[in-house]
Amino acid sequence: MFLSLRYSFTFLLTLLLTSPSFTISRTMVEDHTFSPPATKISITDHNTQSLNNAHIGSKIPGISEFKRYLSHFGYLPRQNNNTFSDEFDAILKFALIRYQQNLGLQVTGKLDFNTVSQMITPRCGVPDANLTPRNHHHHDHVHTTKNFVYFPGKPRWSRPMPMTLTYGFSRYNMIHSLSMKEIKEAFQRAFSRWASVIPVSFIEVSDDDEVEAADIKIGFYNGEHGDGEPFDGVLGVLAHSFSPEIGRLHLDAAETWAVDFRVTTSEVAVDLESVATHEIGHLLGLSHSSVKEAVMYPSLRPRDKRANLNIDDIKGVQSLYGSNPNFRSEWSLESDISANQGAEFGVKHLRLANSLIIMISLVHSLCTLC
């Protein structure tokens, strides 16, 4: 585990050193005319050992960069001009503890290797600020199902059920490294994952007028694009979207978006379908989860795929919209029992998954009682 993390750390370090955007930002930093995006940590500037040893009162050049990053993602108050000191203070320690809790890391309150590695991993641009405190004495898998989170006020699309939401692609904000067909198919798969668990369906519209009026508008954008959350070039922030019922889903056009890693061989390729599924979760009202296997976990490494909904994602979205009747009948206790009696081999895997979830739910309820 440690070795693999160290490997990815070195890998990302290499990426940052070699990526064109990094070279540009470094040059501009040296010219003192440009402040690098708060969403990217330029790790080469930091001595990992001295960061790890930093304690309250330490002053280490570059600490301000970590404060700026934590501030951007909601762990420290945002400041005018983004000016932070290089002192490791108590507020930073508290912010690190919350960050480590929210990202499912070992809680040390330090800028340790795993924490810094997590910070340089590409992620969603939506802040984690609204994550709620949770019971940190639970470490088993059962309790991880409690970790889905809503946006403040628990907003959701407020139409009668079952509801249909329309979505459309902004014709003028597309990328050309993938075909329109590939992009649309990736999004269709992403939407259908959510639609299979809740009574919400999604219909694509394509006429300009219809797209203009669609509930959900999807587009690829470079840098500053009018919503105050500029994209930061290759890696760093990959995409962001808005809580209900704003319906905007923006992807960073600078990424090397991929639908098939056998075709897109770039080391910085990012799986479009995984990111699309994650961002649709935000559009529906889910915020970030600390469950690393969940689609709603905030980060995604290059060339990784995490598009299948986790129990945590499903429970989260169903508590907002209820269950899709088809989904419920497949997953209910009754159907599981009758299916076991029928002993049909073809649905064996589904049943195994059902049983596992039911067991988890039962243990979960028991634990809640005790």
CB 305 within 8 A of CB 258: no
Strands 239-241 and 216-221: unpaired
Q: Candidates 38-46, 125-133, 140-148, 212-220: pick the segment binding Zn ion (CB under 5 A).
A: 125-133
> What distance in Å separates the CA atoms of residue 276 and residue 273, rounded to the nearest whole number?
5
271 marked among binding-site residues: no
- Chosen residue from 16, 38, 51, 126 binding Zn ion by CB under 5 A: 126
Considering beta carbons, is residue 160 or 226 the nearer one to Zn ion? 226
Q: Residue 57, by phi and psi: left (phi above 0), alpha (psi -120 to 50) or beta?
A: left
31 marked among binding-site residues: no
Catalytic residue check, 279: yes
CB 16 within 8 A of CB 43: yes
Closest residue by beta carbon to Zn ion: 124
- Is residue 306 a contact residue for Zn ion (CB under 5 A)? no
Q: Which of 204, 245, 279, 344 is catalytic?
A: 279
> What distance in Å separates the CA atoms of residue 328 and residue 332, rounded to the nearest whole number?
6
Other Cβ atoms within 10 Å of 253 Cβ, number: 19
- Is residue 267 a contact residue for Zn ion (CB under 5 A)? no
Q: Candidates 94-102, 124-132, 302-310, 329-337: pick the segment binding Zn ion (CB under 5 A).
A: 124-132
Taking the complex as a whole, how short is the minimal distance between the CB of residue 361 and Zn ion, in angstroms? 26
233 marked among binding-site residues: yes
CB 294 within 8 A of CB 330: no
Contacts 24+ apart (CB under 8 A), 81-89: 82/35, 82/38, 85/59, 86/59, 86/60, 86/61, 86/62, 87/57, 87/58, 87/59, 87/63, 88/54, 88/55, 88/56, 88/57, 88/58, 88/59, 88/60, 88/63, 89/56, 89/57
Q: Candidates 79-87, 120-128, 129-137, 182-190: pick the segment binding Zn ion (CB under 5 A).
A: 120-128
- Is residue 40 a contact residue for Zn ion (CB under 5 A)? no
Per-residue x/- track, 199-228, Zn ion (CB under 5 A):
----------------------------x-
46 marked among binding-site residues: no
- Chosen residue from 46, 250, 306, 364 binding Zn ion by CB under 5 A: 250
User: How many chain residues interact with Zn ion (CB under 5 A)?
Assistant: 4
> Who's near 158: CB < 8 A, 6+ residues apart?
244, 245
The rounded radius of gyration (Å) of the Cα atoms in the chain is 22
- Chosen residue from 41, 51, 124, 186 binding Zn ion by CB under 5 A: 124
- Is residue 72 a contact residue for Zn ion (CB under 5 A)? no
User: What are the tokens at 332?
Assistant: 């209910």
At residue 155's C-alpha, the angle toward residues 292 and 118, to 5°, is: 25
Considering beta carbons, is residue 124 or 276 the nearer one to Zn ion? 124
| Residue ranges of the binding site for Ca(2+) | 215, 232-233, 252, 255
Catalytic residues: 279
Residues within the interface to Zn ion (CB under 5 A): 124, 126, 227, 250
**Numbered residues of the known binding site:** 124, 215, 225, 227, 232-233, 240, 250, 252, 255, 278, 282, 288, 296
